[in-house]
Amino acid sequence: MADPHPVLPSPYKTGLAGRCPRCGEGALFDGFLKLKPRCSACGLDYKFADSADGPAVFIMLIAGFVVLGAALYVEIAYEPPIWLHLVIWLPLAVILCLALLRPMKGLAVALQYANKAEEGRRET
């Protein structure tokens, strides 16, 4: 007898790795941030997935905390000139944001699937 509630792979593992949230095998992305239409392994349609601005907001908070904290520490400890701050912290902020964007979007999509999240609708 088939189990009515199949065991899903961890949404954290599959999301951060950019894999299908149902089977954990197929790729989730068709480019840097564009989702594939469906999973190549199990055929799950990714139409349900809409991460919107959620990943970007969390990344700005995380990267801002890390970069600003490090910049403040360096300023207080060493007092470098402003041009050195710009040379160090602007590229670091961009690299950190870009490095976190894809895993966080994958995590948002995987958590949407695992929690059966849907768009809010009015009752008619």
Contact of 24 with 13, CB cutoff 8 Å: yes
Question: What confidence score (pLDDT) does residue 111 get?
Answer: 94
The predicted model gives 26-54 an average pLDDT of 93
Q: What is the mean pLDDT of residues 89-102?
A: 97
pLDDT for 108: 95
Q: Model confidence at 120, in pLDDT bands (50, 70, 90)? A: confident
The better pLDDT of the pair 118, 112 is held by 112
pLDDT beyond 90 at 118: no
| pLDDT at residue 33 tops 80 | yes
Integer CA distances (angstroms), 39 to 25, 46, 94, 113, 114, in order:
8, 8, 30, 13, 15
- Rounded mean pLDDT, 112-117: 91
| All residues at 6 or more sequence positions from 64 whose CB lies less than 8 Å from its CB, including other chains | 93
Whether the predicted pLDDT of 1 surpasses 60: no
Check residues 1 and 36 and name the one with the higher pLDDT. Answer: 36
- Percent of the chain beyond pLDDT 90? 82
pLDDT value at residue 4: 67
